[in-house]
Amino acid sequence: MDALELLTQRTSTPALRAPAPSAEQVQVMLDAACRAPDHGLLRPYRFLVIEGEGLLKLGELFLAAGLKKDPDLDETAQKKLRNMPLRAPMIIVAIAVKQEHPKVPEVEQVITAGCAAHAIVQSAFAQNLGAMWRTGAMTHNPDVREGLNIAENEEIVGFVYLGQSLKVRAAPEFDASTLTQSWR
Ligand SMILES: Cc1cc2nc3c(=O)[nH]c(=O)nc-3n(C[C@H](O)[C@H](O)[C@H](O)COP(=O)(O)O)c2cc1C
């Protein structure tokens, strides 16, 4: 795929089907993630690859976390939480690992982790896979953090849902010049 076509035409895919990306495809995505721009070359990120039984376990973790927050959750809400991770055959959790640094503030490190997550999304598209970056209430939930072993100095920047996209959406038309001024 032409690089500029990727950069200008990529779209997300909410409906993702099996099979999960292959080991080779995952490696390409992680290699791309590790090429994110990175002030000080701190590599302020790490990733969890979740598929199969792991997705079921993540659903149970979401449900337990949701019930702890609101024990009165009705059946529909409980089912929604449990099934959330089953919307794709694979999830890569992108995690920012913030480090004390004299020149690189935490915000820049989180941006780098975000760029890494976007590189996963883009390299999925470039491999004819579908991807959707999701966050939501579970992202910063303390029980979810504990269940995923997220350390104090870490933040989940996204759950990148991955799989086969049956239909690729066209990118919406947008004129970037409407958001751009010349400053002199
Ligand atoms: C940090 C971040 C968090 C996001 N969280 C969600 C989410 O929880 N649910 C959702 O539907 N889209 C979420 N999105 C947006 C989608 O990933 C996607 O970009 C959006 O649906 C627009 O589609 P497009 O990428 O094809 O333009 C998030 C995007 C970012 C960058």
CA distances from 68 to 79, 105, 144, 152, 156 (A): 15, 34, 11, 21, 20
Helix and strand numbers (H, E) in the chain are 6, 5
Span 103-146, pLDDT tens digits: 999 999 999 999 999 999 999 999 999 999 999 999 999 999 99
In a domain, 111, yes or no: yes
For residue 54, give its domain range: 17-166
Beta-ladder partners of 162? 90, 131
Number of folded domains that form the chain? 1
In a domain, 30, yes or no: yes
Q: Is any ligand 1 atom within 6 A of the Cβ of residue 12?
A: yes
Q: 131 CA distance to ligand 1 centroid (A)?
A: 10
Q: What percent of the chain has pLDDT over 70?
A: 100
Q: 151 CA distance to ligand 1 centroid (A)?
A: 25
In a domain, 24, yes or no: yes
Closest CA to 16 of 160, 179, 140, 147: 160
User: Residue 153, SS3?
Assistant: coil
Q: What angle do CA 11, 17, 21 make, to 5 degrees?
A: 80
Span 17-53, pLDDT tens digits: 999 999 999 999 999 999 999 999 999 999 999 999 9
Q: State the Rg of the chain over Cα.
A: 18
* CATH number where 112 lies: 3.40.109.10
CA 125 – CA 165 distance, rounded (Å): 9
Q: 119 CA distance to ligand 1 centroid (A)?
A: 14
In a domain, 181, yes or no: no
Closest CA to 87 of 17, 144, 159: 17
Span 62-105, pLDDT tens digits: 999 999 999 999 999 999 999 999 999 999 999 999 999 999 99
Find where tokens 């959707």 sit.
132
CB 11 within 8 A of CB 173: no
pTM given for the model = 0.97
In a domain, 46, yes or no: yes
Most ligand 1 atoms within 8 A of CB, residue of 133, 141, 155 to mutate: 133
Q: 118 CA distance to ligand 1 centroid (A)?
A: 11
Q: Is any ligand 1 atom within 6 A of the Cβ of residue 133?
A: yes
Beta-ladder partners of 154? 97
For ligand 1, atom 19, the nearest C-alpha belongs to 12
